[in-house]
Chain A
Amino acid sequence: MYRIAKKQKLNATVTLMEIEAPLIAKKAEPGQFIILRVNEEGERIPLTVADFDRERGTVTIIFQIVGATTEKLNHLEEGDCLQDFVGPLGTPSHVEGLRKVAVVGGGVGCAIAYPIAKKLHQLGAEVHSIVGFRNEELVILEEQFREVSDRFVLMTDDGSCGEKGLVTNALQKLIDAGEQYDEVIAIGPLIMMKFVVRLTKQYNIKTVVSMNPIMIDGTGMCGGCRLTVGGKTKFACVDGPDFDGFEVDFDEAMARSSIYKPFERHAYEEACHLFEKEVR
């Protein structure tokens, strides 16, 4: 069992938790993920390692309440335990040797982008962070990003905070202003990553994306998380989750991510009913 050492609400639907998992905390690197199970009947869900404290032996996860499992997870409190917590899984993000990087995060994807920005900053790279949210209420990790970024651009769809527009608008502006990036690292919804790649391809700026397909075991034994990358089938849990954005078949990935939609909707409503909560 893995104890929840800290729980913090980041916004209405996004929660941060620090989980006691000393072995994972000792090994985890930015870009890696964990798989957790809330309880005995629970499903296995992947969540990216948002931070870790090697000394305290904790791993930070940040999750958005989107369905039954994240709803149940959000109902646990400090001191409660998770049934299973396994990792670190996947290949760490490649950060060595990069001198100037644009880190682009969308929504809860910012929780994954942050540790990478932090690592790059620690390694002495010039970090430009562009983060986007639907509106002011959904903004997370602003302070943390500012601390590790040489430039920080906050975008909201409705202009309620920062600048109005999409992350691609901000990235375009920086490129137009003559910023030369070794690499763009984009993490967020599939549609956002697809459009970042469409933009950076025009300028041939190497772009790495962090993929988030459906997973079960996360150790390479089922292929549920497979993607087409450069015309070849790859397993995101072992070959990724980071891939060269120019090579990823986003349309296929988006189709595959919707396979259990009806089941998920039903499960979520049941979970909400269980907690007597209205489904948005």
Chain B
Amino acid sequence: MPNMSLKKNEMPSQEPNVRNKNFSEVALGYTAEQAVDEANRCLNCKNRPCVGGCPVNIAIPDFIQEVQKGNFEEAYQIIAKSSSLPAVCGRVCPQESQCEAKCVRGIKGEPVAIGRLERFVADWHNDHSKEAPKRPAPLGRRVAIVGSGPSGLTCAGDLAKLGYDVTVFEALHTAGGVLVYGIPEFRLPKAIVQKEIDTLKELGVKVETNMVIGRVLSVDELLEDGFEAVFIGSGAGLPRFMNIPGENLKGVYSANEFLTRVNLMKSYRDNSDTPIQHAKKVAVVGGGNVAMDAARCAKRLGAEEVSIVYRRSEKELPARAEEVEHAKEEGIVFRLLHNPTKILGNEEGFVSGMECVEMELGEPDASGRRRPVEKAGSEFILEADCVIMAIGTSPNPLIKTTTEGLETQKWGGIIVEEETGLTSRPAVYAGGDAVTGAATVILAMGAGKTAASAIHEYLQKKEK
């Protein structure tokens, strides 16, 4: 019997005023009953538009059919054919603009909660399945992956499933890229990321941390060392600043630094040696998911007032609607159509406030977004003892400057063939934010997937 309710089954979650004081996961996940009930909303339609909306083309109706029958492990196996990180994607994908945007049930009412079901299935598998993934017959051919973020891990997983001997090189001491240093624990528990990485290791993927490619080994040395292909998934980790006065005062962080201290170094815990400023009034500049994450972390560290300062209006906020909603529920103040012009400091060199100016929206610019224009004479001072700059990142130049013949865009993105991810260097592929600039987890995964199949095709043709 299909469930004809127009609404999704709600996701149980922590109360806003409880969760804004802890780092535990906000959304608690479906129970088995809730999952089966939600799965019954799927009509198993013939043309399956949802599959086309998924960047890695998971056979969505097929896995949902298994959930309907209570066959959760079978459901997992169907997802695992297409995705290496389902517990992650079920949590952080912007489903509203991908699979769920295409769902037929969404025409009249809400779409099927595909993301929540994927999450349920992946968590169920991780909690119940003891079976190690089956390793394919080894091909005896080595591929190197630079960076252990979503694109690198996906590429590694796909190649390992084909039998390649894959080594992932990670610069930090923990694998996962933005999944561990960027996205906070309350959105994506680090134990879940670790579990997904452990699954890849069981498939035979080797992960080497503390390996800064470009310094300890170059891409060329990897090729000389016997790796037959290299995939660069080094991301876009170089933070941008506004270049306004006062940006080097004590208490001004890039979102990357703030989030790395909080998420990777666990500075919110008493037993962590890494310090962080426990500020009272925090201003976060920017309107993307990173800004939301930074603001919600600052609140959890005990700030009395946390504001998002964004130069456009709510409609233009690049963050996911759900994240904005969660931030508002947790008491984050939105100062929209505001732009900082100067950061002010006290006599000890600490931040004391931020001069802002009000904005209004003018004509659309080349990108189609209405350009914000300063309102003359509207300057005012926002009190703050901490400012977090979340205005974007660029690709890290380390690989570019140490790999001869690797062509990049003016802004640093690696130039690749769209269909394969092949760079200007033979046998060297790239994908994710290193190519596109800061984008989403799932797009990075899609790029990792594309490159994995291109690498497979290339190596099949190439003599061993």
The chain A residues found within 8 Å of chain B, CB to CB, are 23-24, 27, 37, 41-44, 68-69, 83-89, 216-217, 219-224, 226-228, 233, 238, 252, 255-256, 258-260, 263-264, 267
Contact = CB atoms under 8 A, between A and B. Distances in A.
B98 interface: no
Given A42-B273, A44-B173, A86-B216, 6 more contacts: A41-B273, A217-B260, A222-B256, A233-B247, A256-B250, A259-B277
Contacts of A43: 265, 272-275
A221 B237 contact: yes
A220 B398 contact: yes
A220 B172 CA distance: 12
Contacts of A24: 216
Contact of B215 (A69, A87, A217, A267): A87
Nearest to A253: B248
A259 B257 contact: no
A259 B250 contact: yes
B272 A220 contact: no
A264 B215 contact: no
B241 interface: yes
A37 B247 CA distance: 29
A223 B254 contact: yes
Nearest to B261: A216
B56 interface: no
B349 A86 contact: no
Given A41-B273, A84-B173, A89 B250 contact: no
B396 interface: yes
Interface in B113-128: none
B383 to A, nearest CB: 19
A219 B273 contact: no
A85 B210 contact: yes
Contacts of B398: 219-220, 238
5 smallest CB-CB distances across A and B, nearest first, come from A221-B237, A222-B257, A255-B349, A263-B275, A86-B210
A35 to B, nearest CB: 9
B378 interface: no
Interface string B239-278: 1010100011111011011001100011000011111010
B273 A216 contact: no
Contact of B171 (A23, A42, A219): A219
A66 to B, nearest CB: 14
A220 B265 CA distance: 17
Nearest to B247: A233
Given A23-B216, A37-B173, A216-B257, A84 B209 contact: yes
Contacts of A263: 275
A223 B273 contact: no
A223 B277 contact: no
B31 to A, nearest CB: 34
A242 to B, nearest CB: 16
A86 B171 contact: yes
A41 B275 contact: no
Contact of B260 (A216, A220, A258, A267): A216
Interface string B136-180: 000000000000000000000000000000000001110000000
A221 B237 CA distance: 5
A233 to B, nearest CB: 6
A240 to B, nearest CB: 14
A219 B212 CA distance: 8
A43 B272 CA distance: 7
B212 A86 contact: yes
Interface in B372-410: 396-398
29 contacts: A23-B211, A27-B215, A27-B216, A41-B273, A43-B265, A44-B265, A84-B173, A84-B210, A86-B211, A86-B212, A86-B216, A89-B215, A217-B260, A219-B212, A220-B238, A220-B397, A221-B237, A221-B396, A222-B257, A223-B254, A224-B257, A226-B248, A233-B248, A238-B398, A252-B248, A255-B250, A260-B277, A263-B275, A267-B273
A40 to B, nearest CB: 9
A226 B211 CA distance: 23
B265 A233 contact: no
B6 interface: no
B217 interface: yes
A214 to B, nearest CB: 9
